[in-house]
């Protein structure tokens, strides 16, 4: 085998493992979406209670990443990653065994703490190994792997529900996570070893985050990414009730709708890789942000005036989600471009902003359950426009 062949094989193996680790979060979010109405009946709760299992998951991701970022900078990448994986597996089992909605909400919070290890540390590993422009292309490649999860997850969830109860979905998630953890233990090398000279206290971690929060360039890109994902999560929280309850799709048909939307983000992430050979990160990002804002506004108009029925909801959502194929990797790579010395913390804060906004937007959707389509339209439009404004105003 030539050196080039070995390098290609190594890159694909790294991408597959990091992509699978990053997929823990979309699997935990998307696979049980077709079962939300059934879960609501089984646990004798309402749609607001079920949607809180999503919002608390996003809250757990926001908090957990703030902890794991500094830990991975101090103690290396592999140790915190494997500990997080074990926590994710145990919490997934607890979700399957939950006897009531409160127990499920608590287990989902712990599941989120574990799942964020793969997201934070995979981003930090890419920054450890690649310069920013190549890093954005590798992150786009990761999205090809990670993007399979939102396509397959609701389809698998719908298929599981055709035979088993919703609890089987969480058993399947735990089994997948165990296989990925074994692969990571065997084949994922350390990219940044322990830093014994680095002080790790609450005060030092807060100072790092305070410095990042006051860095205009970093925050412009981080907020563009965060608001983009905030709109996505409002769609995730509202879509089962919009498509299944309002438009009377079956759980299996909803899985196909959800999967087709995910095809958009995967496809455009690969177009993004090609565009980055000819254009700068920022040039591609700004066009994608304008497209994201326009799609959000189109969704708002269609839901406010009942234009186009199901197509008036689905098409703007598809366009919004597709634009994220360039927004998310390019904004993350741009934000972290000058943060190599604290890549774990920088990656963690991006994730915290993303999922903190996700918790907020999904929580707002649960408050607007009387009109979920319009509520989703308002939130997606606001997020899309605010993400664009953050990049244009803060980055000079």
Confidence of residue 393 (pLDDT cuts 50, 70, 90): very high
Give the pLDDT confidence score for residue 147 in this predicted structure.
Answer: 61
What is the spatial distance between Cα 366 and Cα 308, in angstroms, rounded to a whole number? 24
The pLDDT of residue 87 is above 60 = yes
Give the pLDDT confidence score for residue 146 in this predicted structure.
Answer: 63
Give the pLDDT confidence score for residue 145 in this predicted structure.
Answer: 65
The pLDDT of residue 90 is above 90 = yes
Mind listing the pLDDT tens digit for each residue in 215-248? 899 999 999 999 998 898 888 878 888 888 888 8
Confidence of residue 172 (pLDDT cuts 50, 70, 90): very high
Task: Quote the pTM value.
Answer: 0.71
Confidence of residue 334 (pLDDT cuts 50, 70, 90): confident
Scored b (16 or more CB within 10 A) or e, 32-68 reads: bbbbbbebbeebebebebbbbbbbbbbbbbbbbbbbb
Arithmetic mean of pLDDT, 4-33: 76
Give the pLDDT confidence score for residue 190 in this predicted structure.
Answer: 79
What is the spatial distance between Cα 227 and Cα 233, in angstroms, rounded to a whole number? 10
Structural domains in the chain, CATH included, are: 10-186+198-394 (1.20.1250.20)
Give the pLDDT confidence score for residue 107 in this predicted structure.
Answer: 94
What is the spatial distance between Cα 73 and Cα 124, in angstroms, rounded to a whole number? 9
pLDDT above 90 coverage of the chain, percent: 26
> Which residues, 6 or more positions from 392, have their beta carbon under 8 angstroms from its beta carbon?
286
> Which residues, 6 or more positions from 1, have their beta carbon under 8 angstroms from its beta carbon?
9
Place of tokens 């913390």: 345
């Amino acid at each position: 085998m030539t050196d080039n062949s070995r390098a290609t094989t190594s890159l694909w193996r790294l991408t597959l493992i990091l992509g699978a680790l990053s997929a823990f979060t979309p699997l935990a979010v998307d696979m049980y979406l077709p079962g939300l109405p059934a879960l609501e009946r089984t646990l004798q709760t309402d749609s607001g209670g079920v949607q809180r299992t999503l919002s608390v998951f996003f809250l757990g991701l926001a908090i957990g990443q703030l902890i794991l970022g500094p830990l991975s900078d101090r103690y290396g990448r592999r140790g915190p990653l494997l500990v997080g994986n074990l926590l994710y597996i145990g919490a997934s089992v607890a979700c399957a065994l939950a006897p009531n909605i409160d127990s499920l909400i608590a287990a989902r919070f712990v599941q989120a703490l574990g799942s964020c290890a793969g997201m934070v540390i995979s981003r930090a590993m890419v920054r450890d190994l690649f310069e920013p422009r190549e890093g954005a292309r590798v992150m786009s490649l990761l999205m090809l792997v990670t993007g399979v999860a939102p396509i397959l997850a609701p389809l698998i969830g719908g298929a599981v529900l055709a035979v088993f109860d919703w609890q089987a979905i969480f058993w399947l998630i735990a089994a997948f996570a165990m296989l990925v953890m074994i692969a990571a233990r065997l084949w994922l090398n350390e990219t940044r070893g322990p830093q014994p000279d680095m002080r790790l206290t609450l005060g030092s971690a807060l100072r790092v985050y305070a410095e990042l929060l006051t860095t205009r360039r970093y925050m412009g890109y981080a907020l563009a990414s965060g608001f983009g994902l905030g709109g996505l999560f409002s769609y995730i929280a509202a879509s089962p009730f919009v498509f299944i309850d309002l438009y009377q799709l079956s759980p299996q048909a909803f899985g196909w709708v959800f999967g087709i939307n995910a095809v958009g983000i995967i496809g455009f992430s690969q177009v993004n890789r090609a565009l980055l050979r000819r254009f700068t990160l920022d040039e591609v990002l700004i066009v994608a942000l304008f497209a994201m804002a326009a799609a959000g506004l189109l969704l708002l108009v269609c839901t406010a005036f009942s234009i186009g029925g199901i197509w008036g909801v689905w098409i703007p959502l598809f366009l919004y989600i597709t634009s994220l194929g360039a927004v998310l990797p390019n904004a993350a790579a741009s934000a972290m471009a000058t943060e190599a010395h604290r890549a774990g913390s920088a990656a963690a804060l991006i994730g915290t902003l993303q999922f903190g906004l996700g918790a907020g937007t999904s929580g707002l959707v649960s408050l607007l359950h009387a009109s979920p389509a319009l509520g989703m339209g308002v939130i997606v439009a606001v997020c899309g426009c605010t993400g664009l404004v953050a990049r244009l105003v803060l980055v000079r």
